[in-house]
């Protein structure tokens, strides 16, 4: 029975379209890239590379399938200000130089990325019908929307909710409304959906936060765990953990797959340069 289940997951994975993150090494760990029709979470502390990988993803989505893309536009929902537009422009120039013959030459890659800022979880829920209308409108265009990024989900729940029973129930309800709405859109329109999340310090005795392949998570020399707890963890299909360690001026970064229904444990080192985020081979 276990082998049959594994074979079924493998078949499902093979049929799913994927979008490159713009790096062959990280794509290999994800068995081809970020899958469509599900929610993938990228979690890590500030400066670990969460936004970098999202920016690179929405640009890479414009590539043809033969080069790992989806021939698609993207919707980038940001919850923290200001949006790093200068970095996005820098990465778009890098994409144009590395793929001069595989992008539409008639327009700037930035014109195929829709930016939308929101400030609360309630606003996000209210925005879901508008997102669906936007997807239907862009579906008839040359490059329909194929990627949605939410950067970051944790910022929407940072200060509005306390620890009383009422607030916890309201927060969980919003988790399921947001994730349920995103999953429905992902399945209906064949989307890649990526959300970023932050980390908090691990509290001894709270073992319920450990989900996935690693017994503990460490970044910058301290033990951490994903924010928003187990309720939110149950709302995502896959979770990627980005960590970093700094010795003097040298920063070492790692990407680790914590859980996914179709992938084994994997981890790789990566670097962030002016041209983008790239994995390091044989570390």
Task: Convert the pLDDT of each residue in 68-109 to its tens digit.
Answer: 999 999 999 999 989 999 999 999 999 888 877 666 555 688
Q: What is the pLDDT of residue 282?
A: 67
d(CA 83, CA 266) in angstroms, rounded, equals: 31
Q: What is the mean pLDDT of the chain?
A: 86
d(CA 124, CA 83) in angstroms, rounded, equals: 17
Residue with tokens 């790692």: 254
Q: What percent of the chain has pLDDT over 70?
A: 84
Residue with tokens 């997807």: 135
Give the other-Cβ count within 10 Å of 270's Cβ: 21
DSSP characters for 37-73?
Answer: SEEEEEEE-TTSSHHHHHHHHHHHTTS-GGGT--S-E
Split at pLDDT 50, 70, 90, the class of 161 is low
Residue with tokens 């033969």: 66
Split at pLDDT 50, 70, 90, the class of 9 is very low
Split at pLDDT 50, 70, 90, the class of 2 is very low
pLDDT in tens, 115-134: 999 999 999 999 999 999 99
d(CA 182, CA 127) in angstroms, rounded, equals: 11
Give the other-Cβ count within 10 Å of 263's Cβ: 17
CATH of domain 19-280: 3.40.50.300
pLDDT in tens, 241-250: 999 998 878 8
pLDDT in tens, 36-61: 999 999 999 999 999 999 999 999 99
Mean pLDDT to the nearest integer, 21-35? 93
Ranges of each domain in the chain: 19-280
Helices (H), ranges, the chain: 2-15, 24-29, 50-60, 85-98, 121-139, 165-189, 229-233
Q: What is the pLDDT of residue 50?
A: 97
pLDDT in tens, 170-218: 888 999 999 999 999 999 999 999 999 999 988 765 554 555 555 688 9
**Predicted confidence (pLDDT) at residue 12 exceeds the cutoff of 70:** no
């Amino acid at each position: 029975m276990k082998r049959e289940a594994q074979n079924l997951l493998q078949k499902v994975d093979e049929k799913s379209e994927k979008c490159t993150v713009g790096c062959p090494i990280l794509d290999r760990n994800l068995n081809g890239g970020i899958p469509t029709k599900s929610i993938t979470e990228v979690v890590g502390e500030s400066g670990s590379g969460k936004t970098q990988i999202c920016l690179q993803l929405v640009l890479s989505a414009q590539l043809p399938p033969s080069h790992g893309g989806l021939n698609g536009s993207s919707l980038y929902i940001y919850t923290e200000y200001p949006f790093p537009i200068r970095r996005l422009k820098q990465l778009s120039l890098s994409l144009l130089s590395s793929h001069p013959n595989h992008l539409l030459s008639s327009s700037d890659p930035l014109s195929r990325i829709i930016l939308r800022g929101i400030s609360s979880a309630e606003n996000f829920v209210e925005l879901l019908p508008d997102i669906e209308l936007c997807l239907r409108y862009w579906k008839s265009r040359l490059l329909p929307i194929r990627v949605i990024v939410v950067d970051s989900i944790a910022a929407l729940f940072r200060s509005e909710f306390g620890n009383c029973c009422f607030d916890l129930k309201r927060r969980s309800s919003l988790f399921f409304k947001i994730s349920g709405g995103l999953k429905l859109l992902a399945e209906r329109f064949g989307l890649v959906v990526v959300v970023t999340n932050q980390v908090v310090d691990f509290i001894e005795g709270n073992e319920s936060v450990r989900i996935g392949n690693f017994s503990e998570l460490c970044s910058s020399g301290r033990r951490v765990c994903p924010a928003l707890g187990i309720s939110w963890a149950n709302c995502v299909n896959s979770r990627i953990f980005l960590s970093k360690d700094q010795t003097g001026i040298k920063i070492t970064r790692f990407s680790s797959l914590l859980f996914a229904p179709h992938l084994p444990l994997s981890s790789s080192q990566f670097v962030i340069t002016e041209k983008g985020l790239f994995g390091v081979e044989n570390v």
